[in-house]
Amino acid sequence: NAGVTQTPKFRILKIGQSMTLQCAQDMNHNYMYWYRQDPGMGLKLIYYSVGAGITDKGEVPNGYNVSRSTTEDFPLRLELAAPSQTSVYFCASSYSRQGNEQFFGPGTRLTVL
């Protein structure tokens, strides 16, 4: 199993550009999550999904959108990128909420200039 995969690993955007961060998992997990990690701030939840077709906002959803058309994929869309969105983005998945062990991807480092 590849686990959780993310692409791209690095990206530089100009202010106002848009992009999609890709995330896929091959563990048949129902729950998937997007986090951002800023220096000294831990992980903040952006959006999560409890299954295909179901998504919900986390702590910091503004400026982002998600979709979950399949169990495997959970892309994160940035519209009109802003410098405040410069961060490292992690996708994670878990089998269920109980115990909720999360498996993380390697991250995408995004810089908005």
Partner 1 sequence: TQLLEQSPQFLSIQEGENLTVYCNSSSVFSSLQWYRQEPGEGPVLLVTVVTGGEVKKLKRLTFQFGDARKDSSLHITAAQPGDTGLYLCAGLQTGANNLFFGTGTRLTVIP
What residue ranges bind partner 1 (CB under 8 A)?
4, 31, 33, 35, 40-45, 48, 50, 56, 58, 90, 92, 97, 99-102, 104-107
Please, which residue, 81 or 105, has the CB nearer to partner 1? 105
Least Å from the CB of residue 15 to partner 1: 26
Task: Evaluate the CA torsion angle 50, 56, 61, 67 in order and state its sign.
Answer: positive
Nearest to 42 by CA among 59, 20, 56: 59
Least Å from the CB of residue 80 to partner 1: 26
Nearest to 8 by CA among 106, 104, 78: 106
Tell me how far CA of residue 14 lies from CA of 80, 81, 83, 113, in angstroms: 9, 7, 9, 5
Least Å from the CB of residue 20 to partner 1: 19
Residue 42 CB burial class (10 angstroms; 0-12, 13-18, ≥19): exposed
Please, which residue, 26 or 101, has the CB nearer to partner 1? 101
Least Å from the CB of residue 57 to partner 1: 10
